């Protein structure tokens, strides 16, 4: 009896896993539309992060944005969304958000690598992006002092309600060795 129950449970889990993989990822536009609606309600800037599952710097940026010191400040000032792009092989269909590459190109990130990010006002107009390094290079994950300073300037420009103390908290965490 127990064997039959365990076998049934395993079959259900395997089927659910396969079925979940058949569901295509949402379109980049639908993700953006939802974020813009949330931004209107909360008067926050939309922070669009283009990333890929294979990108180590993308994972590092996400981990940083979710640290206990940083997450509340980011959440108070931004609606953060992720658009999956540049996937390879089978992951292209199962992970990449349809329309994401077109969106990335529209906002000038097609040659920037990932993570690439843009900031949008409540109307969906781009007010900043991560191509702020010399020669319009992408910050990506802000690891060097020059990148951290540029990231801080970008946050100041795009988060009108962020306080100086909040910005200092975010930048201090970037400067702290992991």
pLDDT digits (tens, 9 = 90+) for 46-80: 999 999 999 999 999 999 999 999 999 999 999 99
Spell out the domains of the chain, with CATH numbers in brackets: 24-175 (3.40.30.10)
Query: Full-prediction pTM beyond 0.85?
Result: yes
pLDDT digits (tens, 9 = 90+) for 119-173: 999 999 999 999 999 999 999 999 999 999 999 999 999 999 999 999 999 999 9
Query: Which of the two residues, 24 and 58, has the higher pLDDT score?
Result: 58
3-state secondary structure of 64: helix
């Amino acid at each position: 009896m127990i064997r039959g129950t365990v076998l049934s449970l395993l079959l259900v889990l395997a089927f659910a896993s396969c079925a979940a993989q058949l569901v295509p990822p949402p379109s980049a536009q639908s993700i953006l539309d939802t974020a813009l609606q949330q931004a209107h309600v909360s008067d926050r800037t939309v922070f669009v992060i283009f990333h890929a599952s294979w990108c180590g710097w993308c994972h590092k940026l996400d981990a940083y944005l979710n640290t206990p010191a940083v997450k509340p400040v980011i959440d108070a000032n931004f609606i953060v969304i992720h658009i999956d792009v540049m996937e390879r092989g089978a992951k292209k269909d199962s992970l990449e958000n349809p329309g994401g590459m077109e969106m990335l190109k529209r906002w000038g990130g097609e040659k920037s690598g990932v993570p690439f990010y843009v900031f949008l006002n409540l109307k969906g107009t781009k007010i900043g992006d991560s191509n702020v390094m010399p020669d319009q290079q992408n910050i990506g994950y802000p690891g060097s002092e020059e990148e951290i300073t540029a990231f801080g300037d970008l946050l100041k420009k795009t988060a009108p309600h962020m306080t100086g103390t909040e910005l200092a908290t975010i930048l201090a965490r970037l400067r702290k060795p992991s």
